[in-house]
Structure 1
């Protein structure tokens, strides 16, 4: 059934693919980035939502500068908490479903087993705290909500770890990459597919959504180099060396372990996402096509 769907953060890495996928499925989609709608302006949000009358709002817009957030606390909370509140209130006003994209940073990273949807949250960074504040506002203000926590996102319409690695592998003979942080990479195309399927259901709740499998950043970098060479995206003989988080201190603490269990996907009968390595291969093929245009 054709739906009217509003997507915030439509110019971003995930939002771009969400809009594309929904349009390809024949839905009526309004993609908004900050030029079309300032999510921190409550009156503007209400006006836009009331004019469009969406059935579903997919809220991808967020403040994602993790390190910058440590010294820019108010801006992070204005966008991730107050902005999310504004979208939630507007969604409720027109009785729209709300899909909120959250993060693995809501956990402290001290677990030894994959995080399940209802495990206790304990964010350590300003970014993580601001995204959790958004989650709590969604749960308290919306009657029809989905919260999707994802991690290590990469896609062809924004800066990400894979695109950075491809650049560095071409430029440098040697790279050091952190080997003591473990998580699950997530391809925006796969994530967009799952969002577009889930949003059409009434299976509300919290979901952990990432590609299957897990790795460290070092292992991810090794796979990027291997697959990029194999597919001739780049040619590199750069050495990739493991290092510790302590060797490269950053303003914001990162979860040492943020592998997520996909229990929500399993118990609701949804199609699981493929292994991250398969997703990486698909992304590199997509990149090759983009470059050849």
Structure 2
């Protein structure tokens, strides 16, 4: 019998992109929050009752409200640590394969408001994470550790700054598109650097990982997958304006100190794609080409 891939978090941004991808496998079972509560071990066992050897669990469910997690740490850890642990227990027990999606925020880094030298070298999977400065990052790091403690064969894929970019989307790119239409000027922080990642590109990359590694040769590995390149939020905003035919000079830079948030943001959280390429996987295209496709309404591509 052919294997089945279960998408946990199928109703979220990445989950929807995974289901919409033309690279998705034929036997696919999407599980939304209405189908599975990953915080509840019984719910997980019931939803994955048919799981067996050769099947894949692709977990993209997470508590992603970075600011909200600062005051809702219990829920953040329940979803981001305990939930993946329940999934890992199922994969370890049944012999299925677990691919768990994580984040650049697991690295402590330096907050954009910190003084002193700033990192300028992309993070590799083997770099020391340190103690993340946000509850969100700490809970995601705890989730990685729980997964590997329970199922050492699992694979963790870290990504960053994920967006879909549609005019109605609530992510950064979608927000900039809406603000361009209603504001004369927009002010955006220019001292936080990362790698914007187009959700359909990431989805296609994850499906390549599923298809290229049926025997688990990346078992126990941490991989980094983002669109190539690094940029500040201010530069992303200018690029969005350019893509919709607006004057990028309408975007004004500011410092993080001028735009405080409940949770500190890292000054630099760029992830190296070397581990992804070393695993024999196709590197995700440059962030600017991906943004162009997102604003144009096109799906993923490698060119």
The alignment status of 1:47 with 2:46, answered yes or no, reads yes
- Asked if the contact 2:23/2:204 (under 8 Å) is kept, the reply is no
Aligned twin of 1:216: 232
Q: How does 1:231-270 map to 2 (within 5 A)?
A: 239-270=250-281
Greater Cα shift, 129-138 or 46-55: 46-55
The alignment status of 1:33 with 2:44, answered yes or no, reads no
Q: Which runs of 5+ in 2 are unaligned?
A: 111-118
Q: How does 1:7-86 map to 2 (within 5 A)?
A: 7-21=7-21, 24-53=23-52, 55-86=55-86
Q: Distance in 1 between matches of 2:162 and 2:45?
A: 30
RMSD across aligned positions (CA): 1.9
Aligned twin of 1:107: 107
- Asked if the contact 1:117/1:263 (under 8 Å) is kept, the reply is no
Q: Distance in 2 between matches of 1:248 and 1:49?
A: 43
User: C-alpha deviations, 1:23-76, integer Å up to 9, x for none?
Assistant: 754421111111111111101101221235470000000000100000001000
Relative to the length of structure 2, the TM-score reads 0.88
Q: Distance in 1 between matches of 2:29 and 2:55?
A: 11
Q: Distance in 2 between matches of 1:185 and 1:163?
A: 13
Q: How does 1:135-284 map to 2 (within 5 A)?
A: 135-155=144-164, 158-200=169-211, 201=213, 202=216, 203-204=218-219, 205-229=221-245, 239-284=250-295
Q: Distance in 1 between matches of 2:78 and 2:14?
A: 21
Q: Secondary structure at the match of 2:297?
A: helix
Relative to the length of structure 1, the TM-score reads 0.91
> How many residues are matched?
282
How far does residue 91 in structure 1 lie from its aligned partner after superposition? 1.7
Which structure features the higher share of helix residues? 1
- Asked if the contact 1:96/1:144 (under 8 Å) is kept, the reply is no
Q: Secondary structure at the match of 1:199?
A: helix
Q: Secondary structure at the match of 1:134?
A: helix
How far does residue 112 in structure 1 lie from its aligned partner after superposition? 2.2
Greater Cα shift, 67-76 or 151-160: 151-160
Greater Cα shift, 179-188 or 23-32: 23-32
Greater Cα shift, 89-98 or 63-72: 89-98
User: C-alpha deviations, 1:211-255, integer Å up to 9, x for none?
Assistant: 0011000001000100121xxxxx567711000001111111111
How far does residue 146 in structure 1 lie from its aligned partner after superposition? 1.1
How far does residue 18 in structure 1 lie from its aligned partner after superposition? 1.1
Q: Secondary structure at the match of 1:14?
A: helix
Q: Distance in 2 between matches of 1:260 and 1:268?
A: 15
Q: Distance in 1 between matches of 2:173 and 2:183?
A: 15
Q: Distance in 2 between matches of 1:88 and 1:258?
A: 27
How far does residue 199 in structure 1 lie from its aligned partner after superposition? 2.1
User: C-alpha deviations, 1:88-119, integer Å up to 9, x for none?
Assistant: 11122221111111001011224221111110
Q: Secondary structure at the match of 1:57?
A: strand
